[in-house]
Structure 1
Amino acid sequence: MPRIEVASVDAPFPERLRGGFGYPLRGSGLATCVALALIHYVGLLPSYIGALASIFVWAATWRYAATCLLHTANGYADPPDVGVESSDTSAWGLVAIHLLVVAFCVIAIVFYPHLLVPFLILFALVLPAIDMSLAFDGNMALAINPLNWARVIGAFGSAYLIPVAINLLLGITIVIASVTTALLPQLLALPLFAFASTYLAVLAFHLMGVMIHQRHERFGLEPEAPKLAKIGGQDADEDLLAEVDALAPHDTVAATSLLVARMQNRVAPTSLHLAYRRLLQQQGFRDGLLVHGQIWMASLIAQGEAKRALGVLQECCGIDADFIPDDPRTCAELADLSARLSMRRIALHLCRGFLNAWPRDTQTPHIGMLAARLLAEDPEQKSEAARLLDTLESAWPDHPLHAEIGLQRSRLARTP
């Protein structure tokens, strides 16, 4: 089971509020916001097709935002993946409510323009109560009852103004977008407006989820994340780390043995790996740090945490300048990543290590081309880049990249 990041129910709301602004930009949240913003291009399709497609995209946006609310209310610290399971009744009820609000706003714009601003203010005030009621009650009739709105608002007090302010900001964003869309090229204005709207929707729903999470006992809720974390042994890991920290000053060997026994059983969290490396450093186990680095990098790559694996690689290179991953797939992925991050020195080190260790691997032409490109950035290393491309071209005549190798060699020859 992957590690579950659990939000602390005791964290002060101002702290959760500050962290909340980055919530839509983390992990699956950022990927989803970008994807939804780009999908809004379907609105450019002709006539009713584009309008209908836009409605479906907005439905998907509110569906994801609603899932974020439920996810946060259940104690999860990170945004959910798109396919995460949630309460269909609550989530689709939230989608229906927000589509209805959009329909009212469209009617006001077309037939009663003077009512648009009062509508926006009214919806901003009552929507958080409706949204949160649906989340913890799952009852549409109750959620749209004005008496229930008063109950919800009273339960949250002044904190209720936070999602209200964000809803007002979202409404203002929509109004501004209707103006700026005419001033900017539509191909640029559409995704910018869509991303801003999606970001604000996810932020508002996340903060409402935070408010529910911190008052879950008042609403008869039992957050799911802590229970799953306990089943996965995360509480045991925290207890083990405390035991290791207490034991380490007196007996580093025994503390190290505790961590070794734990990490042999299942995937360990970062905190345990860092504690293990600290103990190895204290004991001067240079080779142990390198062996652990290999194991941890492979685990991080498998978990999709390539950037953290790159950090482990840099630490190991500080111990042994010739260190490279012991698996060609890991080495190639980190070489590509470091090149994308403009870390030329480490990327070139990985490429050279790969070419020396696995000269006949199927990825060798790709890594060789990457190394040649990096070498060509330095005028003093262009000749080395040319020799490398010549070697690749002759050694891999049947490889799918053979033509591209020749093209890169020709471009390099034309460069002064």
Structure 2
Amino acid sequence: MTSRGQRTPAQARAGEIVPFWYRLREISLYPTHSAALTTVVTLALCHLVEFLPLGIVGWLFQLLIWVALYKYAFECLRATANGRLEPPEVAVSVEDSLGWSQIWLQVAFFVLNLLGFILLGPIGGTFVAIFLALALPGAIMTLAMDGSLGHALNPATWIAIMARLQWPYVAVAALYFVFNLSQRYAQALVLPILPPVVSTIAFYFITNYAVVATFHLMGYLIYQYHDEIGYEPAVTTMPALARARDPDQEMLDEAAVHIREGRPESAADLLAGQLRARGGSEAVHVQYRKVLGVLGRRDELLRHGREWIAVLLAQDKDRRAVDVVRDCQEIDPAFEPADPDDVARIARTAVDAGQSQVALRLVSNWYRSHPKHRDVPANCLLAARLLAERMGKEDTARALLDRVLQGFPQHALAGEIGAYRRFLDTLGAPPARA
């Protein structure tokens, strides 16, 4: 027994792991990693078999696709529970039976839901449905950890997991529900406007994406609270290896303890002091931004973003600087870097990285603030190309180029800008008569 203010060894070790509520963005983007995305897309394409006149064979093939999806999802869950936060390439450690067990688990929960309404009526059935929705993540995690369908269907197991994890489990169950609700909303939004073949691919892509993301979330909950639920991760030495690689790991661990004990303000002060005094590794900057986000300190996030962007550019980490700009734009669409001279470099990198909206928003805000800057012709030409070629806004591009030519008639790029302006005119010109 420990007193209320005393931390157990398990809690101390858990402090080394970033809590899942600080990694929700990374968790939601987990299926976009190449390994997971390949599986998600491939299995979505496989469902096109439903357009073939195969009868019962086609139905069985569809079932096998679902089994393959759940097998890969369990591979992701187990890999995450073992401390590996990158998606596995293929499902090699998970047995085929686990995919079938997930199918039977869902069937069992559906039957229990149905029986609740039949035997207890609408009110009693609603309470049963809520309890089962809360219990489903616990049942899936149990199935992943020990592979026993019987154990996963035991209500005592669900209640034991809920009692050990308490509010973090409830939060994950709520997120599981939100992921699935978002999946259905996205499908309802896009499917009616797509042709049948495309809508089928889109439907199963969204479904597969949601399954992989939610299983990764459940795996991370196991990883974060492995001591509490009696699970031993296979990669128990990963935090020690991370400490050896990161020169600021000791300070990061101290900040994690503050966060774990419900004192994010202290963690923010600790991290800010480190950055002001000596700078810090990327992990320090990332953790500081996460804590500021939890505390809702938008102005500090923007100020830190400007400072970190300058550091990243000095280190030639231009792609990472673009990511920070995008994050800051989500907080304030009018965000600008501290040095207006950096905008051209960041905007070009953003375009190369396929982030046209980031580049366009950045240049637009900058142009309003610095209409006489020497980089206006180059930046506005870049913006005009994005408007015309990637967004179909030729009229807006023409108007922008007209303003630039009027303001910088003698600039070295005036000829190129004029040529592109004339090219845009040809796009809107009527075809010549024979």
TM range (shorter): 0.5 to 0.7
2:93 pairs with 1:83: no
Superposed CA deviations along residues 298-337 of structure 1, whole A, max 9, x for unmatched, are 3x45xxx7432667999885324465439x9737526x52
Paired residue type of 2:416: L
| Worse-matched range after superposition: 224-233 or 184-193 | 184-193
2:349 pairs with 1:330: yes
Work out the CA distance in 1 between the residues paired with 2:382 and 2:59: 44
Paired residue type of 1:45: F
The answer (yes or no) to whether the contact 1:24–1:203 under 8 Å persists in 2 is yes
The alignment yields a C-alpha RMSD, in angstroms, of 6.2
Note the C-alpha offset of 1:216. 2.0
DSSP-derived class of the 1:39 partner: helix
Note the C-alpha offset of 1:42. 1.3
The answer (yes or no) to whether the contact 1:105–1:116 under 8 Å persists in 2 is no
Note the C-alpha offset of 1:211. 4.9
The answer (yes or no) to whether the contact 2:77–2:216 under 8 Å persists in 1 is yes
Match of 1:269 among 283, 289, 294: 283
Equivalent residue for 1:238? 249
- With over 3 angstroms needed to count, the CA separation of the structure-2 counterparts of 1:29 and 1:86, relative to structure 1, is farther
* Identity score, percent: 18
Paired residue type of 1:194: Y
Note the C-alpha offset of 1:58. 2.0
DSSP-derived class of the 2:78 partner: helix
Equivalent residue for 1:144? 149
| Worse-matched range after superposition: 367-376 or 37-46 | 367-376
2:234 pairs with 1:221: no
2:416 pairs with 1:388: yes
Paired residue type of 1:271: H
Paired residue type of 2:211: A
Paired residue type of 2:231: L
Paired residue type of 2:158: I
Paired residue type of 1:411: L
- With over 3 angstroms needed to count, the CA separation of the structure-2 counterparts of 1:189 and 1:102, relative to structure 1, is farther
DSSP-derived class of the 2:345 partner: coil
Work out the CA distance in 1 between the residues paired with 2:415 and 2:206: 49
2:82 pairs with 1:74: yes
The answer (yes or no) to whether the contact 1:293–1:316 under 8 Å persists in 2 is no
Match of 2:427 among 394, 411, 415: 411
Work out the CA distance in 1 between the residues paired with 2:135 and 2:326: 47
Match of 1:318 among 307, 317, 338: 338
The answer (yes or no) to whether the contact 2:76–2:212 under 8 Å persists in 1 is yes
2:29 pairs with 1:26: yes
Equivalent residue for 2:317? 297
Work out the CA distance in 2 between the residues paired with 1:273 and 1:191: 37
2:37 pairs with 1:35: no
The answer (yes or no) to whether the contact 1:324–1:353 under 8 Å persists in 2 is yes
Work out the CA distance in 2 between the residues paired with 1:102 and 1:247: 49
The answer (yes or no) to whether the contact 1:40–1:194 under 8 Å persists in 2 is no
Superposed CA deviations along residues 135-176 of structure 1, whole A, max 9, x for unmatched, are 323xx4xx1345983663353145688888969x979x99xx
The answer (yes or no) to whether the contact 2:74–2:215 under 8 Å persists in 1 is yes
Note the C-alpha offset of 1:411. 0.7
Work out the CA distance in 1 between the residues paired with 2:152 and 2:386: 65
Superposed CA deviations along residues 19-40 of structure 1, whole A, max 9, x for unmatched, are 7986763243597497378536
Superposed CA deviations along residues 231-270 of structure 1, whole A, max 9, x for unmatched, are 1336642335779866777xx4xx35xx5xxx6xxxx436
Work out the CA distance in 2 between the residues paired with 1:155 and 1:40: 39
How many residues align? The count is 335
Paired residue type of 1:156: I
Work out the CA distance in 2 between the residues paired with 1:317 and 1:96: 52
Work out the CA distance in 1 between the residues paired with 2:287 and 2:150: 52
- The alignment's TM-score, normalised by the length of structure 2, stands at 0.51
Match of 1:45 among 28, 44, 51: 51
Work out the CA distance in 2 between the residues paired with 1:161 and 1:339: 36
DSSP-derived class of the 1:222 partner: coil
The 5-angstrom pairing of residues 110-125 of structure 1 reads: none
DSSP-derived class of the 1:318 partner: coil
2:215 pairs with 1:205: yes
Structure 1 residue runs of 5 or longer lacking an equivalent are: 1-7, 109-113, 276-281, 358-364, 393-404
Note the C-alpha offset of 1:123. 9.5
Work out the CA distance in 2 between the residues paired with 1:84 and 1:309: 34
Note the C-alpha offset of 1:132. 3.0
The answer (yes or no) to whether the contact 2:79–2:87 under 8 Å persists in 1 is no
Work out the CA distance in 2 between the residues paired with 1:273 and 1:126: 32
- With over 3 angstroms needed to count, the CA separation of the structure-2 counterparts of 1:234 and 1:192, relative to structure 1, is same
Superposed CA deviations along residues 25-64 of structure 1, whole A, max 9, x for unmatched, are 3243597497378536514431237545533542343133
Structure 2 residue runs of 5 or longer lacking an equivalent are: 1-12, 119-127, 255-269, 290-302, 368-373, 406-412
Match of 2:158 among 121, 136, 153: 153
Work out the CA distance in 1 between the residues paired with 2:313 and 2:414: 34
The answer (yes or no) to whether the contact 1:163–1:207 under 8 Å persists in 2 is yes
DSSP-derived class of the 2:231 partner: coil
Equivalent residue for 1:402? none
The answer (yes or no) to whether the contact 1:20–1:207 under 8 Å persists in 2 is no
Work out the CA distance in 2 between the residues paired with 1:269 and 1:354: 35
